[in-house]
Chain A
Amino acid sequence: MSIGKTALLDRLFPSGHKVTEVGQVLCGWGETPAGRVHVIGTTEHAAIDSCIALALSAAVLQAVAEDGTDHRPIVFIADTQGQALSRREELLGLNGYFAHLARCVNLARGAGHRLVTLIDGEAVSGGFLAFGLLADAIVALPGAEVRVMDLRAMARITRIPYERLTALARSSPVFAPGADNYWRMGGIHALWTETEDWAAQLLALLQGGGEDERARLGAERGGRKLAASVAQEVLHAHG
């Protein structure tokens, strides 16, 4: 395992952890004052292909199966550059593998497992959608990159000048990469800093409800003003 991931696990679980890395997939457990938690994730900015998605869904199913009625929390470590780009993966139906993984994550939530995601490295697009972004609480660690697409690629595709995008990105969190932008929009619950006690902060996140509060958070933080209100309007529209 990379030195960075080992150091992260030491810091999160000072009382002990056992996590193995096979083909960029992390799987194991960490010890907290509230008991043992599952650790499942990816490393080295993994490009998520069907093989990695299957390993992740297998790990989630295994966690659900082995816990019986004692549903321990699952801590996801997300480090992904996005989905694998390949013709064979598209032929296999990579979207179907991601949907399966998402169903497994949802099964775990429904069974009573608290789900916490820690972004360590990168969280990009489809690779992030498939598991990390579905958690009950999502945290970006210092230096985490969160994005759909970088601004140069976006400028090329939308034909909007790069300079214009960078200027607008200073005031709007809506399109530019950055964990702080996702925090303002309610897509990330917390941004941890280098000097904080991560073990204590993780312990606090192991409690909480499973409702999707992200739209409300985005409105409160001022980064996403319409998501909650438009959904509410649809919910209460006449007809």
Chain B
Amino acid sequence: MMSTALQSYREATARQRVQGLLDAGSFTEWLGPARRITSPHLAALDAPVSFDDGVVVGQGHLAAQAVVVIAQEGLFNGGAVGEVHGAKIRGALLRAARDRPQAVLLCVDSGGVRLHEANAGLIAISEIMRALFAVQSAGIPVIALVGGTCGAFGGMGIVARLCNAIIISEEGRLGLSGPEVIETVKGVEEFDSRDRALVWRITGGKIRRTLGEATVLVDDDMAAFRSAAAAEMFGDRPHLERWGLSPDSLHGLQAAQRQLAARAALDGSIRDGQQVWNQLGLGEEVALMSPAEFNLCLEARKP
């Protein structure tokens, strides 16, 4: 079915994202809501539970190729990872390592660990990291999609960066500590979490793409995410080779070490994305560029 109307990825639920990304009718969910596997730890604190514990996992097809899909629901507890939620993600990754689909799509929409079950969540994220390495060792790329309302923060910000590619929208956000946490602990002078433009210049899709933290910038549109994911799977994008369809090599990681060290050596006064853009000779016009224009502009500036 073809549709020309834009469907916002950001406004979609996890289930709508799965439907929108995959070939029509191809999705099979594992441990779906009918199984009613909920978090006992939320229940113990009289907090609301969800029949999928805030994550959808299963398999389907993208452009007729088998994929495993994992989609976090940002509307439930901020997509946060608890025991069941984490175990579903880990199980889906282990299954991908066993069944060898063409790729894993990881739709991250999460603030990180779920505080109501913080210890279980922290261990679960570590287990997800190890399972993700197992998938990559099996030669299967994991593609992160970041464009939900909760972004990818905390442990899920680390997990996203372990992926072979990150597709992000301009509205997508990627980081470790959320602006609210930094403001609460360090004060509003350090990070004013209510300054939305500043938050965007620190954590948003354009600056993440500029620094190489994300691999491609797309419009907040389901079809754009879908075609970018397909391009990562089939296309000639060099970063899939760079980050290895094989396990990380010593040489590859030594090169990554040098790149990250160079970035950390940026002038110490730089604490705003606009300063990074100014250094690249890009001015205020950055905010006005479409994702396509912006990707082209960065490609042209590559050494």
Q: Which residues of B contact A (CB under 8 A)?
A: 28-31, 37, 40-41, 44-45, 47, 57-59, 83-84, 86-88, 90-92, 94-95, 98, 113, 115-127, 129-131, 133, 137, 152-155, 157-162, 174-177, 179, 181-182, 185-186, 190-191, 202-203, 207-208, 211, 213, 247-250, 253-254, 256-257, 260-261, 263-264, 266, 268, 270-273, 276
A90 touches B182 (CB 8 A): yes
A93 touches B213 (CB 8 A): yes
19 contacts between A and B (CB under 8 A): A54-B260, A54-B261, A61-B253, A91-B273, A92-B264, A93-B208, A94-B177, A98-B176, A107-B248, A126-B155, A129-B125, A168-B44, A181-B119, A186-B123, A218-B123, A230-B87, A230-B91, A231-B90, A239-B59
Q: What residues of B have a CB within 8 angstroms of the CB of A187 in the complex?
A: 119, 122-123, 126
Q: Which residues of A contact B (CB under 8 A)?
A: 50-51, 54, 57-58, 61, 64-65, 83, 85-100, 102-104, 106-107, 110-111, 125-126, 128-130, 133-134, 147-149, 154, 157-158, 160, 164, 168, 172-176, 181-182, 185-187, 212, 214-215, 218, 224, 226-235, 237-239
B31 touches A237 (CB 8 A): yes
Chain A min CB distance to B143 (Å): 15
Chain B min CB distance to A135 (Å): 10
Q: How far is the CA of A147 from the CA of B121 in the complex (A)?
A: 11
A51 touches B123 (CB 8 A): no
A156's nearest neighbour on chain B, judged by CB, is B184
Chain A min CB distance to B226 (Å): 21
4 further A-B pairs in the complex, CB-CB below 8 A; given A212-B127, A227-B127? A61-B253, A91-B202, A106-B248, A239-B58
Q: How far is the CA of A181 from the CA of B66 in the complex (A)?
A: 40
Q: What residues of A have a CB within 8 angstroms of the CB of B113 in the complex?
A: 125, 148
B253 touches A100 (CB 8 A): yes
Task: Evaluate whether A235 and B177 lie within 8 angstroms (CB atoms) in the complex, with A96-B213, A227-B83, A227-B124 already known.
Answer: no
Chain B min CB distance to A125 (Å): 7
A87 touches B129 (CB 8 A): no
Contact for B253 among A94, A96, A103, CB less than 8 A: A103
Chain A min CB distance to B35 (Å): 8
B268's nearest neighbour on chain A, judged by CB, is A88
Q: What residues of A have a CB within 8 angstroms of the CB of B137 in the complex?
A: 110
Q: What residues of A have a CB within 8 angstroms of the CB of B162 in the complex?
A: 99, 102-103
